[in-house]
Structure 1
Amino acid sequence: MTAKVVNGIRNVAIVGPYLSGKTSLLESILFVTGAITRKGSIKDKNTVADSTPEARDRQMSVEVSAASTEYQGLQFNLIDCPGSVEFAQESLNALIGVDAAIVVCEAVSDRALTLSPLFKFLDDWEIPHLVFINKMDRGSSSFMDMLHALKKVSSRPLIPHEYPIGQGEELVGFIDLVTEQAYHYHPGAPSDPVPMPESLKEQEHAARAEMLEELANFDDHLLEELLEEIEPPQEEIVGDLKMELGADLIVPVFMGVAEQDYGVRTLLNALVKEAPDPATTTERRGLVLHAATPLAQVIKTQYTPQGGKLSLVRVWQGKITDGMTLNGMRIGGIYQLQGQQQHSLNEASAGEIVALGRLDGIKTGDTLTTAGKQLEHELPRAEQLKPVFALAITPEKRNDEVKLSSAIGKMVEEDPSLAWEHHGDTHEVILWGQGEIHLQVALDRLRRKYNLPMTTHLPQVPYKETIRKTASSVHGRYKHQSGGHGQFGDVYLDIQPLPRGEGFNFQETIVGGAVPRQYIPGVETGVKEYLHHGPLGYPVVDVAVTLTNGSYHSVDSSEQAFKNAARLAMQTGMSKCEPTLLEPVCQIEVHAPNEFTSKVLQLLSGRRGQILGYDGQSDWQGWDKVTAYLPQAEMHHFIVELRSLTMGVGFFDWEYDHLQEVPDKLAEKLLATNGNGNNHR
């Protein structure tokens, strides 16, 4: 296969909420354009996209899928994106490499809010997008009701591109608002022209007037024509749609039933005539289209079942050939993807989306160029989502522990919204992600792809302990006699609490050589070793210890003996200092539509959160940001409840802030449950 002409390409992402029918729309596009001869279905687990075992097991998209087809002389590179919010990182990474997006939604006006975060990302990045209202045969809302609901959650004006023709509650056709030609749908075949129903003329004229008025907001000539009641030529309307869509000034709205191919050809025709080509996008990004230096960006990384690494890239400028060196790595193949299938290419030109083989060390979002060429600026990449849900994982087979870090490293390359750590306090391997399903998919991949079955449990909370009172002149004596030299160390310690966050402080006020200088480091070591496991069973923080006095034996004393004496003194003294349990507290910023703010406040308060304040978001109309302190122990299922309360759109950022005392009743319950802290759960 050879590279395509730049202006003969449309790079389009298909995005939208879970269950909106994106994968069915892709399947329909591939079918009506002849790329496949038989449509698959999610139920039958035979679609081009969603071809991984993890996706088919759950009958949902869990990662980006790429496919290509040809229509009216153009090559369409299509990216099917996951709908679940837990896999949003996949969609965000892919969207920055396309020229336009089709936002798919169901005809249920109550769910229009679920599109709000997606609309914001598209508009922040100025990515042209159209809306396809799917499942019009079973939706609970009319086209116009749905249009009205969508307008409330978009910062760009949504304009109808067509008007529905119904028969009872059944969708039978549409009226093209540009040409004012009516059409009837036919299963498995193109729609055919019919006379416009008399009963719809008034509604059609109103919808068309709305479309033209919105277009006229960006075209003075069209505005003059409308004011003078001159009918604008169709070519002018299409030109305005192309210009204003390409600049992300408007959002045209289409409708249909993807499973029956209704509305799919109309959508494709609009993409041909009105969607921006790669040259337009490249120019808008401030790049030079025909520059000789190759420039590409990775929008998805995957490891194939055969073990080879593929980097899905958008070529922004220049030409990439097989065997070329990019960022010091030699390309091991160029491929056009059709789901899991790969078709080899010799080269890829500016504007194409292709997969490059064997680019080890290259990650999603990286900018690629030829060896020896230094970039002034890397191409901007999508924000990396912070993890909000965690599980502690352990290999079922102990011998597999050595393989775990390599396997998880590859998974994080494939999905940057995963993260993992080996926690220094609890000694657990913790896998972080965007939700429960997200982590279950990751665990499935560990088992299937890397033969690493895992057991899981909730991560331990890294509690600490400190003291409330001072203990003075605490005595510790270590005396041990055996054959030969004995062991003797004798110390007096003052133990006192420090302000929160001060850590540990050791001093000595020895006078007259009561403890020789060479033994004092042993005393400090003994104190520190004891603090790893205090009287409640947890690491001790915010404590000051002062060595005030002691005695020694000229023959039997040693640094080791004084270390043991210090441990004995700490063991005696700490229990007298009123030890208390501390828990980590995070500062959290919750983002949600303002209609849910009161529920968010209740959710935080119910989880022992301390509300610091809330306010409207200046860059997001209708959304609030709530700031609070939240104990880490209360965070585990917080994202699950937050999404449940906010139709799945609420999210939060967090970072560790400080330690604070656990309330006495809760501390008693924790210590009783955990056997005086030995389990750290």
Structure 2
Amino acid sequence: MTASGDTEGGRGAGGGAHVRGAPRCIAIVGTYGSGKTTLLESILALTGATGRKGAVDQGTSVGDAGAEARAHGMGLEVNAARARFMDEDYVFLDCPGSVETAWEAEGPLAVADAVIVVAEADPSRTALLQPLLKTLDARGLPHLVFINKIDKSDGGPGEGRVRDLLEHLQPLSERPLLLRQVPIWENGIATGYVDLALERAFVYREHAPSEVVPVPDSLAARAEEARYQMLERLSDHDDHLMEELLEDIPPPRDEVFDTLGREMRDGLVVPVFLGSALHDHGIRRLMKALRHEAPDVGGVRARLGAGEGGTVVGVVKTWHTAHGGKLSLARVLSGTVKEGDTLVTADGRQHRVGGLYDMTGLQTAKRTSAGEGETVALARMEDVATGDVLASSPALANPARLMGDPPAPVYARVIVPADRKDEVKLSAALHKLVEEDPSVRVDHAEGGALLLGGQGEMHLKVAGERLSGRFGVRVDMYAAPVPYRETIRKAATARGRHKRQTGGHGQFGDVVVDVAPLPRGSGFVFAEKISGGVVPKQYFPAVEAGVKDALLKGPLGFPVVDLSVTLTDGSYHTVDSSEQAFRTAGRIAMQEALPDCAPVLLEPIMDVELFVPNTATARVTGIVTGRRGALMGYEPREGWPGWDVIRAQMPQAEIGDLILEVRSATQGCGSFAATPAHLAELSGREAERIVSAHAA
């Protein structure tokens, strides 16, 4: 290897000229705490997009710009920022890293030309990246890995740390990881790197370009070995390069760079770079790799199957601002968008563009038009939702949606306005909240209460803060009720007689019913065995309605299921009988009969699948059994090396905050899916506790 005075990470003498094209859109993703937002700040400072580098812990970053993100010191929604590097334009989309807000990245990933995956230099945390890498592989998204915090000395012995990290990461990626740099270590701390494509060494300088130095003698053999391994990986998809390696012909530098760019754009390899976002180490080399090797918006159109020949725009994020109204962050996939244009969705709905803005965090700058590849905010698109595709004609609005449905909630709470007069206001605020974050779901709980569902405790806490801070509605949240039921164990017969004389026509209804248990899951069956017309036929429906009234709240206080009721006898009055009288009589009969039928509490049981790294399987199975769950077995998760699927049946009452324990046991990456299975009898102290609490 040789050393020369070339600038940091330059392509090298004779490198092929890069043709300037449409602005690129780059998504930045990674796990919570990996340093994504700090990387964005470093890029913005390097490119001169900001006057000075912001800091997350000081609340001065462009990313994590929302009030809730500032308060919690973590990314909670997508932030966009523009930058210009070597005469080319970029928009970076900083995506939150928490598993609870992971769906925020769906829109940005759909329209991004390439993705930077920020990984920590800590092998013990690599499993957290697997869901993200699976998503990128499934979508065929070109991406590279930036191993951040390489300057830290707490990751083990320096020499083997990167190789150990890659050994942990590679099984998680369907595509080969291609190490592009070998770190230079001094006393266990990375002080620079050898660029394997350039064959040059660089020493980091604090907040300044790295300095070119000779390759250390102690590292020359390792660098040669790593470079050959890189070329071998590249030659798997390049016959000419393979021939050169077999014949010991050093490939020209231009050929190496052309192959690197082509194979990244085609999704054949995942380049791996090193650095420290905090100290601006390795950032210029990362930006040059994006400039030369990342694809442009044409790759996005091909990936999505988007139409061409007109204007096509994909909406990736929605905000409701206090003064500017609704803003829809969108990428122009083809054509040009101007203020006042009318765009349509695939179903023909028309939407007028009320304005265009560049976004830097939550700051906006007005503009009049945006061309192909631009990422801008569209103003006042009231009926447009995150994920919509808009176009100059319905035929071009392809695909109709950029993303699928949000994940099912794993954590839910009943939500009520702190001030009852805000009930109407709450409905409008929830509509805006769900527009901003479609992974929040609003349903109705038992008894009609509003149920707010999401991906975890922090997710719903932030939702509550947004309702208060952005939309002016303070709310209280409570544990969601469990839909307990009750049934009967034995049969009984009872009479219900309703007689009232109030002057003029009175009320009279008289019925006898037989009540009997049915097998679990049978529901409710009503029949009649009346002879001699003792109860006229026209009153049968009224009796059934009265019976159903009584079943809404049985002796234990819950709806009653799985029983049959047969009308067997009764009497009527030609003047005073009515449908209402017989409905009341039917209810009275049931209220008399049910306490004699040995009522028993039923609790809902759920089929649960838990998805966890196999290192946490034992801990999670212990959590399941500790929550009255019945283990049905576990097996390797298909297509997920190092993960298991645990199958169990658990009471719904035990699932309310299950996700909190599962995430705690799995470094935050475990999850589960639950579906109703059946109702099971519950007796003893637990049943007594539930009945008493419900009555109170």
Give TM-score, length-normalised by structure 2.
0.93
Select between 601-610 and 59-68 the one with higher mean Cα deviation: 601-610
Q: Residue 695 of structure 2 aligns to a residue in which SS?
A: coil
Q: Are 1:397 and 2:419 matched, yes or no?
A: yes
Give the drift of 1:633.
0.6
**Segment of structure 1 superposing worse, 653-662 or 257-266:** 653-662
CA deviation after TM superposition for structure 1 residue 662, in Å: 2.2
Contact 2:542 2:582 in 1 (8 A): yes
Matches within 5 A, 1:525-564: 525-564=545-584
Is the Cα–Cα contact under 8 Å of residues 6 and 352 in structure 1 kept in the other structure? no
1:152 and 2:167 aligned: no
Residue-by-residue CA offset, 1:540-569 (whole Å, 9 max, x unaligned): 122211110011233333322222222221
Q: Does 1:59 align with 2:73?
A: yes
- In structure 2, the CA distance between the partners of 1:440 and 1:227, relative to structure 1 (3 Å rule), is same
Quote the sequence identity (%): 46
Residue 177 of structure 1: how far off its partner (Å): 0.6
User: Letter of the aligned partner of 2:574 in structure 1?
Assistant: S
**How far, CA to CA, are the matches of 1:612 and 1:126 in structure 2?**
35
Corresponding position of 2:84: 70
Deviation of 1:381 (Å): 1.4
SS for the counterpart of 1:462 is coil
The equivalent of 1:621 in structure 2 is 641
2:40 & 2:237 partners in 1: Cα distance? 32
Q: What TM-score, normalized by structure 1, do the two folds share? A: 0.95
For 2:190 and 2:680, locate their aligned partners in 1 and report how far apart those are by CA, in whole Å. 60
Distance in 2, matches of 1:630 and 1:481, equals 53
1:442 corresponds in structure 2 to 463
Match of 2:382 in 1: 360
- Residues of 2 paired with 1:124 and 1:249: CA distance? 13
Secondary structure of 1:51's aligned partner: coil
Deviation of 1:36 after TM superposition, in Å, equals: 0.9
Q: CA deviation at 1:646?
A: 1.6
2-side partners of 1:45 and 1:465: how far apart? 53
Aligned partners of 2:210 and 2:169: how far apart in 1?
Answer: 26
User: Is the counterpart of residue 504 in structure 1 residue 530 in structure 2?
Assistant: no
Q: In terms of mean alpha carbon deviation, does 617-626 or 60-69 score higher?
A: 617-626
Runs of 5+ unmatched residues, structure 1 = none
C-alpha separation in 1, matches of 2:539 and 2:569: 12
**Cα distance, 1:268–1:6 mapped onto 2, change above 3 Å:** closer
2:342 match? 325
Question: Is residue 280 of structure 2 the alignment partner of residue 261 of structure 1?
Answer: yes
Query: How does 1:599-678 map onto structure 2 within 5 Å?
Result: 599-672=619-692, 674=693, 677-678=694-695
Distance 1:395 1:256, change over 3 A: same
SS in 2 for 1:443: helix
Deviations 1:225-269 (A, max 9, x none): 111111111111111111111122111111111111111111111
CA 1:6/1:573 → structure 2, altered by over 3 Å: closer, same or farther?
Answer: farther
1:84 aligns with 2:98: yes
Distance 1:153 1:678 in 2: 52
Does structure 1 residue 96 correspond to structure 2 residue 110? yes
* Paired amino acid for 1:62: L
Using the TM superposition, give the Cα deviation of residue 315 of structure 1 relative to its aligned residue in structure 2, in angstroms. 1.7
Do residues 336 (structure 1) and 353 (structure 2) align? no
Quote how far apart the aligned CAs of 1:213 are: 1.2
* CA distance in 2 between partners of 1:181 and 1:431 (Å): 55
Aligned residue in 1 for 2:435 = 413
The alpha-carbon deviation at position 491 of structure 1 amounts to 1.1
User: How far apart are residue 162 of structure 1 and its match?
Assistant: 0.7
Structure 2 residue aligned with 1:133: 147
**Other-structure match for 2:13:** none
SS of 1:426's partner is helix
The answer for the alignment partner of 2:208 in structure 1 is 189
Structure-2 change in CA distance of 1:283 and 1:373 (3 Å): closer
CA–CA distance in structure 2, aligned partners of residues 399 and 179 of structure 1? 67
Conservation of the 8 A alpha-carbon contact between 2:498 and 2:581: yes
Q: Which has the larger displacement, 93-102 or 477-486?
A: 477-486
Q: Secondary structure at the match of 1:152?
A: helix
- Preserved contact between residue 418 and residue 433 of structure 1 (Cα < 8 Å): yes
Partner in structure 2 of residue 463 of structure 1: 484
3-state SS, counterpart of residue 644 of structure 1? helix
**Structure 1 residue 6 displacement after superposition:** 7.5
Provide the rounded CA distance (Å) in 1 between the counterparts of 2:68 and 2:389. Answer: 29
Aligned mates of 1:381, 1:471 — CA distance in 2: 56
Partner deviation per Cα, 1:488-535 (whole Å, 9 max, x = no partner): 222110111222222222111111111122332321121111111111
1:176 aligns with 2:190: no
2-structure distance, mates of 1:112, 1:178: 26
Report the residue type matching 1:599 in the other structure: R
Instruction: Verify the 8 A CA contact 1:8 1:73 in the aligned structure 2.
Output: no
* In the alignment, structure 1 residue 576 sits paired with structure 2 residue 576: no
- How far 1:198 sits from its partner (Å)? 0.6
1:299 to 303, 316, 340: 316
Q: Deviations over 1:392-437 (max 9, x none)?
A: 11111110001111111111111010001122x3222111011011
Aligned partners of 1:211, 1:470: CA distance in 2, in Å?
78
Deviations 1:349-391 (A, max 9, x none): 2222211111111111111112554756525414521111011
Mapped partners of 1:108, 1:597: distance in 2? 21
Conservation of the 8 A alpha-carbon contact between 2:314 and 2:402: no
Amino acid at match of 2:195: D
Q: How far, CA to CA, are the matches of 2:60 and 2:623 in structure 1?
A: 42
Q: For 1:557, what is the secondary structure of its paired residue?
A: coil
Name the counterpart of 2:296.
Answer: 277
The whole-number CA distance in structure 1 between the counterparts of 2:306 and 2:74 is: 36
> For the Cα contact (< 8 Å) 2:389–2:398, is it kept in 1?
no
Aligned residue for 2:122?
A: 108
Q: Which residue does 2:258 correspond to in 1? A: 239
Contact preservation (8 Å) 2:306, 2:397: no
Matched pairs, number = 668
1:579 is matched by which residue type in structure 2? P
Please report how far the alpha carbon of residue 168 of structure 1 lies from its aligned counterpart in structure 2 after TM superposition.
Answer: 1.3
RMSD: 1.8
Does the aligned pair in 2 maintain the 1:158–1:251 contact within 8 Å?
A: yes
State the Cα distance separating 1:293 from its structure 2 match: 1.8
SS at match of 2:596: coil
1:46 paired to 2:60 = yes
**In the alignment, what sits opposite 2:538?**
518
Whole-Å separation in 2 of the counterparts to 1:409 and 1:193: 56
For the structure 1 residues 584 and 215, does the alpha-carbon distance in structure 2 shift closer, same or farther, using more than 3 Å as the test? same
1:7 touches 1:279 (CA, 8 Å); kept in 2?
A: no
Paired residue type of 1:231: P
| Structure 1 residues 307 and 542: CA distance shift in structure 2, 3 A | farther
Partner amino acid, structure 2, of 1:83 = G
Call closer, same or farther: CA 1:486–1:50 in 2, change over 3 Å: same
TM-aligned CA deviation for residue 8 of structure 1: 4.2
Q: Which residue of 1 aligns with 2:28?
A: 14
1:143 Cα deviation after fit:
2.3
User: Matched residues in 1 for 2:21 and 2:394: separation?
Assistant: 30
Q: Taking structure 1 as reference, are residues 338 and 160 closer, same or farther at Cα in structure 2, changes over 3 Å only? A: same
Preserved CA contact (<8 Å) 1:348 1:354: yes
Is residue 78–residue 317 contact of structure 2 (8 Å, CA) maintained in 1? yes
Could you say what secondary structure the match of 1:15 adopts? strand
Q: Distance in 1 between matches of 2:659 and 2:106?
A: 20
Contact 1:292/1:319 (<8 A) preserved: no
Residues 17 and 115, structure 1, Cα contact 8 Å, conserved in 2: yes
Who is 1:387 aligned against?
A: 409
Contact 2:55 2:61 in 1 (8 A): yes
Task: Supply the AA of the counterpart residue of 1:121.
Answer: T
Q: Is the 8 A contact 1:582 1:662 kept in 2?
A: yes
